[in-house]
Amino acid sequence: MMDALLEVKGLHVDIPLSAGTLHAVRNVSFSVNRGQTLALVGESGCGKSLSVLAVMNLLPKKARWHAEKLLLNDEDLTSTSERNMADIRGSRMAMIFQEPMTSLNPCYTIGNQLMEALLRHQKVSRSDARDRAVFLLEKVGITAAASRLKQYPHQLSGGLRQRVMIAMGLMCGPPLIIADEPTTALDVTIQAQILALLASLQQEFEMGLILITHDLGVVARVAHRVAVMYCGLVVETGDATSLFENPLHPYTQGLLASLPIPGKTMPGEHLGSISGMVPTPIGEQHGCVFRNRCTYAFDDCSAGPVDLREVSNGRTYRCLLSPEVCAQNLAGGQSL
Amino acid sequence: MTKKVLQIQDVTKTYRVSAGAFKGKRPLHAVNGVSLEIEEGSVLGLVGESGCGKSTVAKIILGLESATNGHIILDGNPISRVARREMTRRVQPIFQDPYASLNPRKSIGSIISLPLRVHKVGGRADWGKKVNKIMDIVGLPARLKHSYPNQLSGGQRQRVAIARALIMRPEIVICDEPTSALDVSVQSQILNLLIDLRKEFGLTYLIISHNLAVVEHIASRVAVMYLGRIVEESPTSDLFKWPQHPYTRALLASVLTPEPRKGLPETHLGIAYPNPIDPPSGCTFHPRCPKATELCQTTPPNPRSDAGRLVECHYPEQ
């Protein structure tokens, strides 16, 4: 068993509101190894972004978090000081944000913003930092890299800006990269390129990558391991192949059935859908969080919280039904 | 022979944009000679990357922008000669962002009934009944009538937008990215609803989207747009089975389906979408095209049509 690069166990994020406490993330555990891609996937509001913001200690001030275990290379991050976190962010784990136009500062040149992290974390000269910036811009496929350093974010296209964001994340050579919806704002043709780029850089530098997305297509093509989140809980985990080919949890099954797939779904026919709405994350949950939308719900589902069950190594799901019954449900659903 | 309810003939839209300080304005051809026809009861999908002009086409049809050149013909009459009121009764839009397209200060009932009030259809008592009926059809619970948009989920808001579009029983609905702002499970609900409504009311749709999987699912014909031109147009199944234009091939290759064994596709497209102010010479796609030759750099290709398909390329796939 390889040592995990990042290990998160029992992470909770709560946001106190006037109406009660919003449990945005409940008892979430995941780990990432070097050279591995973990995808956190789920619909908006499921807590995927807040989970990693907690890891980076970048949560909004209002939010509270605690975790049983939060280890980065065996260093405990639950009790570390903000000063130490500032040293860790950027140098040992870096984040690539969703919207490159809002996360790049419009008042500074690309070069300035690229070099900032390296100058902050390491004792290097400006000219060395510049060389590193040019090297990485070329790595991420930007031509005429040296002249780009003098440009401002608004002079670049969306795809280029996203490439700059990736290069920025890599400046200090962090072993762990967290990418929050890195391609959502991009066109489909650029999306494939950016994902291929991330995957090849990850292999080259043996980085761990946490990919946060709502796009199941992206997850299937890029991730090694997947954790599906619903309403603050992880409802299913597994390696990408077995999770997509044999989804167990009714929510995962429902999500996959609701996607139109050229050549597989019948044009003009009804797509699968998940009826109802996500329950409010405010207050305590009793029973299975998915039961109000689940076709297979029965009395026991509302009795008490449902635990994650392990089917095989690393393959878990949070449902009272046995894996065999879940597999049958899937087969039955497809023939309908 | 089915009736062509909407024809777009050689429409051009040119904006004059400033190219920088002291440089004067330069023309930007957002839409450059686009012709499309939509048959009654069919669904035409319009796809392309951002900035290709697909939303401008929608705005021109809806009368939100005026075309620089060309004609929009509704049921045989140019829309310049159709009264504005009649036009809006027959053609209605559904926009992308249900958070931005609903007035936050109006109740749902008021938003949905606005078209009735504008067109002075029936009396006050009638409006209530019609609103209840259409809310039922699009799957909105009647209790939401007195709610406000901020109390609704994204899917419900999009249903409100659909109800508002359909309350006048239009013939044509222009959907600009109808599901892009929605979550996956909600997207499928809205697509199912659009499919049902089309059958029930015999609607004609123009669906504008960058999501090819969505377009494949719902459209009967697809037009692919690149830098203001339609580069390929054909029946959906033909386009997906035998794409003729290299750009269409690349677009199809970049659709990421949830099939883990397939890995990431190679699109061979290079990085940059060209700046529409400085479009490339000849065929505007040539800098990104794997098959480009000298001819492509100098001469724009003429549209070739054959057996209901149109392609604008010097070397189309056979």
In chain B, pLDDT over 70 holds for what percent of residues? 98
Structural domain of B52: 4-311
pLDDT at B194 exceeding the cut of 90: yes
Select the more confidently predicted residue: A330 or A311: A311
Closest CA to B216 of A41, A130, A227, A269: A269
pLDDT mean over A297-324: 91
Within-domain flag for A281: yes
Within-domain flag for B210: yes
Residue B72 near residue B79 (C-beta atoms within 8 A): yes
Distance CA A255, CA A268 (A): 19
At position A40, the amino acid (one-letter code) is L
> If phi over 0 gives left and psi between -120 and 50 gives alpha, with beta otherwise, what is residue A111?
alpha
Provide, as residue numbers in chain B, all residues whose Cβ is less than 8 Å from the Cβ of A268.
195, 217-218
Residue B14's CATH number:
3.40.50.300
Residue A312 tokens read as 């095989």
SS3 assignment, position B92: strand
Angle between helices A250-257 and B184-201 (to 10 degrees): 50
pLDDT at A335: 37
pLDDT at B1 exceeding the cut of 60: no
What domain count does chain A have? Answer: 1
Q: Band the pLDDT of A48: cuts 50, 70, 90.
A: very high
pLDDT at B222 exceeding the cut of 90: yes
pLDDT mean over A85-94: 92
Q: What is the CA radius of gyration of chain A?
A: 21
Provide, as residue numbers in chain B, all residues whose Cβ is less than 8 Å from the Cβ of A195.
264
- ipTM, 2 dp: 0.85
Distance CA A94, CA A92 (A): 7
Within-domain flag for A264: yes
Within-domain flag for B152: yes
pLDDT at A281 exceeding the cut of 50: yes
Select the more confidently predicted residue: A263 or A9: A9
Q: Band the pLDDT of A107: cuts 50, 70, 90.
A: very high
Each as own residue / partner, the long-range contacts of residues A200-206 (CB below 8 Å, 24 or more positions apart, any chain) are A201/A139, A201/A140, A201/A166, A201/A170, A202/A35, A202/A37, A202/A177, A203/A35, A205/A170, A205/A173, A206/A34, A206/A35, A206/A175
Within-domain flag for A104: no
Within-domain flag for B318: no
Provide, as residue numbers in chain B, all residues whose Cβ is less than 8 Å from the Cβ of A267.
216-218, 236-237
In a mutagenesis test of the A interface, which of B49, B140, B185 is the best target, namely the one with the most A β-carbons within 10 Å?
B185
- State the smallest CA–CA distance between residue B273 and chain A in angstroms: 9
Provide, as residue numbers in chain A, all residues whose Cβ is less than 8 Å from the Cβ of B262.
220-221
Per-residue pLDDT tens digits for A231-250: 999 999 999 999 999 999 99
Within 10 angstroms of residue A73's Cβ, the number of other Cβ atoms is 15
Q: Where does residue B39 rank: exposed (0-12), middle (13-18), buried (19+ CB within 10 A)? A: middle
Distance CA A214, CA A198 (A): 17
Within-domain flag for A268: yes
H or E stretch covering B87: helix B84-90
In a mutagenesis test of the B interface, which of A258, A265, A269, A330 is the best target, namely the one with the most B β-carbons within 10 Å?
A258
Distance CA B144, CA B135 (A): 9
- State the smallest CA–CA distance between residue B302 and chain A in angstroms: 25
pLDDT at B259 exceeding the cut of 80: yes
Q: Band the pLDDT of A2: cuts 50, 70, 90.
A: low
Query: What are the counts of helices (DSSP H) followed by strands (DSSP E) for chain A?
Result: 12, 13
Distance CA B277, CA B27 (A): 7
pLDDT at A102: 82
Residue B44 tokens read as 């035409």
In chain A, pLDDT over 70 holds for what percent of residues? 98
pLDDT at A251 exceeding the cut of 80: yes
In chain A, pLDDT over 90 holds for what percent of residues? 62
- Residues in CB range of B176: below 8 A, 6 or more apart: B55, B58, B93, B94, B95, B96, B208
Select the more confidently predicted residue: A81 or A329: A81
Per-residue pLDDT tens digits for B25-35: 888 899 999 99
What domain count does chain B have? Answer: 1
> What is the edge-to-edge ordering of all strands in the sheet holding A37-41?
A93-96, A176-180, A208-213, A37-41, A225-230, A233-239, A315-317, A309-312
Provide, as residue numbers in chain A, all residues whose Cβ is less than 8 Å from the Cβ of B210.
187-188
Within-domain flag for A161: no
Residue A5 near residue A73 (C-beta atoms within 8 A): yes
Q: What is the DSSP letter of B193?
A: H
In chain B, pLDDT over 90 holds for what percent of residues? 60
> Would the CB atoms of A259 and B213 count as touching at under 8 Å?
yes
- State the smallest CA–CA distance between residue A199 and chain B in angstroms: 9
Select the more confidently predicted residue: A1 or A52: A52
pLDDT at B198 exceeding the cut of 50: yes
**pLDDT, mean over chain A:** 90
Of A241, A256, A257, the CB nearest to B261: A241
Within-domain flag for B317: no
Give the rounded distance of the alpha carbon of B289 from its chain centre.
25
pLDDT at A334 exceeding the cut of 70: no
Q: Band the pLDDT of B231: cuts 50, 70, 90.
A: very high
What pTM, to 2 d.p., does this model score? 0.89
pLDDT at B13 exceeding the cut of 80: yes
pLDDT at B272: 65
pLDDT mean over A315-334: 84
> If phi over 0 gives left and psi between -120 and 50 gives alpha, with beta otherwise, what is residue A246?
beta
H or E stretch covering B310: strand B309-311
Per-residue pLDDT tens digits for B270-282: 656 777 888 899 9
Within-domain flag for A291: yes
> Would the CB atoms of B266 and A220 count as touching at under 8 Å?
no
Which CA distances in Å does A269 have to A260, A321, B188, B276? 10, 29, 11, 38
SS3 assignment, position A286: coil
pLDDT at A336: 36
Distance in Å from the first CA to the final CA of chain A: 42
- Residues in CB range of A251: below 8 A, 6 or more apart: A228, A230, A235, A236, A274, A290, A293, A294
Least confident piece of the model among A140-154, B64-78, B199-213 = A140-154
pLDDT at B22 exceeding the cut of 80: no
> If phi over 0 gives left and psi between -120 and 50 gives alpha, with beta otherwise, what is residue A73?
left
Structural domain of A271: 247-335
pLDDT at A113: 94
Within-domain flag for B316: no
Within 10 angstroms of residue A322's Cβ, the number of other Cβ atoms is 12
Report how many Cβ contacts below 8 Å link chain A to chain B. 143
